[in-house]
């Protein structure tokens, strides 16, 4: 329950409690001192209502923490799986497209092998920061697992390619800043053309991401042959 829900519930209990006191007095045939009812209502308002507000805030905070990746502070898989059905319903209702981009960091294992896992963790944090820098209002960056991220935004197929380009530019800037080459393979799927569920969109995004990765490898091999 959200903070507002907690407060509403306690507010309802205040009114209900006062009403029950009055009803009890009528049924019992005795008059009840209005001051007693007022005192009970004040107790609920001054004691229980603030406690409910604090409990609601703590609940919201714990829920947010549970939905975030511990390392990168981006959203996590649990958050995406919970929020996507709602986002897809909204997109369908408004007749708007929604894109899901799967981002796989190229050769990330080399960073771990060359510099250690602590450096790899730091690299993931920097990469997550670069991706968040590409996100606008209402757009989601999430760590899907390992060195894979999801980028969710309202875009159609024609503007899907610039998503990959924008991410590429952000990682290029990061590479220059840290002195280590960082790049990513990106595959984008678009609702409704590629499916109307997260699973369907991920299927297409994953396939296109691997196509992008293979294309990069072929380009690298060609460049190596020309330089030989």
pLDDT (tens digit per residue) in 109-148: 998 898 899 999 999 999 999 999 999 889 999 999 999 9
Q: Do 152 and 109 fall into the same domain?
A: yes
Query: Does the residue 72 lie in any domain?
Result: no
- Residue ending a domain, choose from 35, 66, 97: 66
Angstrom distance (rounded) from CA 64 to CA 92: 26
CATH label of the domain that carries residue 111:
3.30.70.270
Omega of the bond prior to 192 within 30 degrees of 0, cis? Answer: yes
Q: Do 46 and 111 fall into the same domain?
A: no
Q: Do 190 and 99 fall into the same domain?
A: yes
Q: Do 164 and 86 fall into the same domain?
A: yes
Per-residue confidence (pLDDT) for residue 223, from 0 to 100: 43
- Residue ending a domain, choose from 38, 66, 94: 66
Per-residue confidence (pLDDT) for residue 30, from 0 to 100: 53
Query: Does the residue 71 lie in any domain?
Result: no
10 Å Cβ neighbour count for 84?
Answer: 21
In percent, the amount of the chain with pLDDT more than 70 equals 64
Q: Do 58 and 130 fall into the same domain?
A: no
Q: Do 27 and 123 fall into the same domain?
A: no
Residue 51 has pLDDT above 70, yes or no: no
User: Is 167 within 8 Å of 186 (Cβ atoms)?
Assistant: yes
Tokens of 165: 């380009």
The one-character DSSP state at 196 is S
- Across the range 22-35, mean pLDDT stands at 53
Q: Compute the C-alpha angle 156/159/164, nearest 5°.
A: 115
Tokens of 142: 């999430």
Angstrom distance (rounded) from CA 88 to CA 34: 53
Burial class (CB in 10 A: 0-12, 13-18, 19+), 31: exposed
Q: Do 116 and 220 fall into the same domain?
A: yes
Residue with tokens 């691997």: 210
User: Is 160 within 8 Å of 154 (Cβ atoms)?
Assistant: no
Q: Do 42 and 132 fall into the same domain?
A: no
Query: Does the residue 44 lie in any domain?
Result: yes
Query: Does the residue 160 lie in any domain?
Result: yes
- Across the range 44-62, mean pLDDT stands at 64
In percent, the amount of the chain with pLDDT more than 90 equals 54
Residue 216 has pLDDT above 70, yes or no: yes
Q: Do 153 and 218 fall into the same domain?
A: yes
- Residue ending a domain, choose from 42, 66, 90: 66
Q: Do 113 and 48 fall into the same domain?
A: no
Angstrom distance (rounded) from CA 108 to CA 152: 22
**Domain assignment of residue 184, given as a range:** 77-227
Domain count, the chain: 2
Q: Do 141 and 218 fall into the same domain?
A: yes
Q: Do 99 and 151 fall into the same domain?
A: yes
């Amino acid at each position: 329950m959200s903070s507002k829900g907690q407060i509403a519930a306690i507010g309802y209990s205040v009114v209900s409690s006062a009403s029950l006191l009055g009803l009890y007095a009528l049924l019992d045939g005795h008059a009840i001192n209005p001051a007693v009812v007022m005192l009970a209502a004040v107790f609920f308002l001054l004691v229980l209502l603030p406690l409910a507000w604090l409990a609601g805030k703590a609940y919201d905070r714990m829920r947010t923490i549970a939905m975030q990746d511990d390392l990168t502070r981006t959203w996590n898989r649990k958050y995406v799986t919970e929020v996507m059905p709602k986002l897809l319903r909204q997109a369908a209702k408004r007749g708007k497209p929604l894109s899901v981009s799967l981002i796989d960091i190229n050769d990330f294992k080399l960073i771990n092998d060359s510099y250690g896992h602590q450096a790899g963790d730091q690299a993931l944090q920097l990469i997550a920061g670069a991706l968040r820098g590409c996100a606008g209002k209402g757009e989601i960056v999430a760590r899907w697992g390992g060195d894979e991220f999801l980028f969710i935004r309202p875009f159609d197929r024609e503007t899907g390619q610039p998503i990959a380009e924008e991410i590429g530019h952000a990682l290029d800037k990061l590479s220059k800043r840290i002195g280590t080459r960082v790049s990513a393979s990106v595959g984008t799927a678009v609702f409704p053309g590629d499916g109307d569920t997260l699973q369907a969109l991920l299927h297409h995004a994953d396939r296109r991401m691997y196509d992008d990765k293979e294309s990069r490898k072929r380009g690298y091999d060609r460049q190596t042959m020309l330089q030989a």
